[in-house]
Structure 1
């Protein structure tokens, strides 16, 4: 359901509601004035009893005329109908029947369980994983569990300003960190230095610097000079030129970098696979629901469909691989139509090469340079 349709429907109801309120107020004011006039005539005491009855009958006749000519009743009835339609529109928009977009696909229970287990390990919910393993009858992934327990202990230590678990992990993986060009060890020591300076004073910070920062001087002299300059301000860093050293953002960035580096070394994706899959599904769900509603008379076609007839656009955050579009056919590469590199270095999709070579029966000229090629000379590329 398009958002513009929702907004237009809401605006129509709002206009009708304002008009209905205005007409009702005018009616109430008119009837109120008539009643006050009638009461004033009766209470004057000058009118005879029969005359008072005539006044009441006249008032009753006026009320009947006002009631028969009342436009607000029809307006309220129309407003109620529109509100009912709008309610149904809201239900379709915010509470759709997503089961329509489901297909009868046989999932491998073991793989699904492993995805869920990985998710809860990442979240540190180890008790939930133990319960799931027991009920599903799955083998406990000891190595994975120990890895994520270690990283959660490190992150919990960072929250409590306890750097020992993180520094021990960095020391054990120093070679890998150096190979990847990571300065994680320096960042840990910097935050530890600043924390000691604020809580223990200059003497404690200087002692820590001599013990731990000295070996890093050859590679990070500029950073260490900045830290030494901060010694002059002691516990008043917040009001100094070195205020950025005590920014809370540094702690958040450090925790994120530790998690990213840990996942890289452990062969795990930094982003939670289950969360990514759910987020991508939610973004593509409206398009799928529209397609299913359009194809509802022929549901079997939806079940048998191997490729969607429409594009499901996802955001840039869901693009994890290179996407190649053939410059000749303007079609995106796929497993059935992979990118192929010509001897000259230009790349086309397999189907385009098949057409240019007339079914692989003869050579052809590259569309972008004067060099000749044949289908047998082309090599498939893997992104």
Structure 2
């Protein structure tokens, strides 16, 4: 059993207590029980490591905590993008093997690789191993795999085998997926050379890509993971505050993250920020800076309102002292900035 990395502290404690209480002594006469005991011990170790990590959240160094969190997010992204070796190396060098789920993704890699090689058996075996949990989530992954295997028999013109296969493996799904079952069995008549779009699509090569995507979705749900990588979610949380109609038109300055195609793609499904126009507030007077009270830029780069700088200049004999850095300059050295 894999323990999701995003569980709450209470959930982790309860899970760890359950594993500790239910753990059994290994039976040297039963290899399967020994293997099960080792797996339980591994999960207890991971729960303990994650609990210890949560315990240091308030007591530890914030910068160190955020650095570790970022590395976990990066490992999660690499594993989802199939950069397994790089993810394992980062987890090892950072000492966070117990805080990430590398081994679980490596098990999924075997199924993904087999589907990309147009092999169904490993995926079906995975479905059999997780049958009860997939049934609870009303997964149709196994049905889709069976459909693909049936279609491959039809494509190979093994019609008798295809009919026997449909009777044995597809017929039991008739009660819940009758329309899809009727559609796929009709390929016995239309064959792979058909020009009818309804059936032609079943023979296309991208059906294997759809199976890979479907397996990944079921895999994430089964282990309580987010469907999107955590890195995407965190980036979108920031991009949604920056997205405006002005940026979507491709008029962003180079300093804006949305000027890059990758960020624009991430922000595409996000709503526009509620505030389309920025407001500048003076750090000194807390008043709004506008055309009546324009901003002025000090030589050190900090910006304050003209009203605040004039008052400071009168009190200090024409000198301006930056309240943030302590730098001193003349009022004439402050350049006026224009709000567009």
TM-score bucket of the superposed structures, by smaller chain: 0.3 to 0.5
TM-score (norm 1): 0.43
Which has the larger helix fraction?
1
State the structure with more CA Rg. 1
**TM-score, length-scaled by structure 2:** 0.48
